[in-house]
Amino acid sequence: MKFTTVDQVQQSLAQANYIASKEIATVIFLALATDKPVLIEGPAGVGKTELAKAVATSLERRLIRLQCYEGLDEAKALYEWEYAKQLLYTQMIKERINTVIKDADTLSEAVERIASQEDAFFSERFIQPRPLLQAILSPDPVVLLIDEVDKSDPEFEAFLLELLSDFQVTIPEIGTRKPVTIPIVLLTSNNYRDMSDALKRRCIHLYIDYPTQEREMEIVRMKLPGIEERLARQMIDAVTRIRNLDLKKKPCISESLDWARALMALKTEELTPDRVKDTLNIVLKYHEDTALARQAVNEIVG
């Protein structure tokens, strides 16, 4: 394992432009030490996907990402048969196939003879690996990100259990495929629905909430080194007050960074009520939330 201490993980993630708390660094350290997947839950936009990217960067591993959605099935996540390639090969060896079946007395016998050769057509030669199989078969260790797993159907979540338990997958036509190297697996969830107990048992659980003001300040300083200290502090104070409103969608870290970039582009030196009103659309994504924030703009500026 590349890291021998939690502090090393924290420092390496920082070098990959990710400010990790001690808790986050500890979870990543333990995931590497125990080969356990990590289920990362929390509001959208708090850095769950970015953590996976930073882990891949810090470990110098390739990141393989599976984006989950409703209706995702094994064919899209694991593998697909290359039917066009199979058909092409069939045409190329047509004469050989005719030789195999030429002495068959009945259609059933001809089918049986062709079926006895099906291993030639259902082999790894004709498989198109999708993200999960790519991670299993990769000769080099990778980071596998299963993003927004809560958007997938419960049936797909159940399918993942074999992978998360044994890091292996079963392909009915050719059998079980075990990993060449053990990937580090990170699953993210925005709590669109609850994950099953079976999945949680197989993972180390990590909840990432909105950052503290101090941590958010560190992130803003790292991502936008040119921002004025006073403006950054004012903006983060304002974001914190906005999050305390009764909103449909609270602003996340990426929206704080977008707001900071917008304020810098507008050459803002001080956050005023008028400037907040003019730029709220960067931070809030629902009309009701924007209207509520406009009413409370004096409190937001402080």
pLDDT tens digits for range 35-62: 999 999 999 989 999 999 999 999 999 9
Q: Round to whole Å and give the CA distance between 243 and 87.
A: 58
Residue 77 burial (CB count, 10 A): 21
* Model pLDDT, residue 75: 82
Q: Round to whole Å and give the CA distance between 248 and 228.
A: 30
Confidence of residue 107 (pLDDT cuts 50, 70, 90): confident
**Residue of higher predicted confidence among 113 and 128:** 128
* Model pLDDT, residue 300: 94
Residues 6+ away with beta carbon under 8 Å from 55: 13, 16, 28, 61, 143, 184, 186
Asked whether the whole model's pTM tops 0.85, one would answer: no
Residue 64 burial (CB count, 10 A): 21
Mean pLDDT of 119-138: 84
* Model pLDDT, residue 176: 85
Q: Round to whole Å and give the CA distance between 116 and 106.
A: 16
Highest mean pLDDT among 73-82, 87-96, 116-125, 251-260: 251-260
* Model pLDDT, residue 184: 94
* Model pLDDT, residue 154: 92
With a pLDDT cut of 90, the percent of the chain lying above it is 70
Confidence of residue 1 (pLDDT cuts 50, 70, 90): low
